[in-house]
């Protein structure tokens, strides 16, 4: 998986991802949702506001079933940080 952020380009092997989490950040003007790809020795964070976010989710849904529900998984509670696991690799299973 390859993500171009506003300041850098990051790469992370799909096989190294152990958990995909959705989280949010609230501020006074808007709420932003992030996907956190927890890898063996790395963490890749992608914002819903990043270019290509929808394409990334669409393309990775077959690999990480459940991530397509990223927005619905987070309760709409204002000014409350929330974190929800969307996908977990089963112990002992490799990609």
pLDDT in tens, 3-43: 555 556 677 889 999 999 998 877 665 678 899 999 988 89
The answer for residues whose C-beta is within 8 angstroms of residue 26's C-beta and 6 or more apart is 78, 79, 80, 81
Q: What angle do CA 56, 1, 43 make, to 5 degrees?
A: 100
Backbone phi, psi, residue 20, to 5°: -120, 125
Higher-confidence residue of 54 and 77: namely 54
Q: What angle do CA 32, 38, 44 make, to 5 degrees?
A: 55
The two tokens of residue 32 are 């932003």
CB neighbours of residue 69 within 10 Å:
14
pLDDT at 36: 93
pLDDT in tens, 32-71: 889 999 998 889 989 998 889 999 999 999 999 999 999 8
């Amino acid at each position: 998986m390859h993500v171009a952020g506003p300041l850098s380009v990051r790469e992370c092997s799909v096989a190294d991802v152990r958990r995909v989490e959705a989280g949010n950040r609230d501020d006074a003007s808007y709420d932003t949702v992030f996907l956190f790809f927890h890898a063996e020795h790395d963490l890749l964070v992608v914002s819903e506001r990043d270019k290509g976010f929808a394409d990334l989710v669409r393309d990775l849904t077959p690999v990480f079933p459940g991530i397509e529900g990223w927005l619905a998984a987070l309760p709409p509670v204002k000014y409350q940080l929330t974190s929800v696991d969307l996908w977990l690799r089963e112990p002992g299973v490799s990609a």
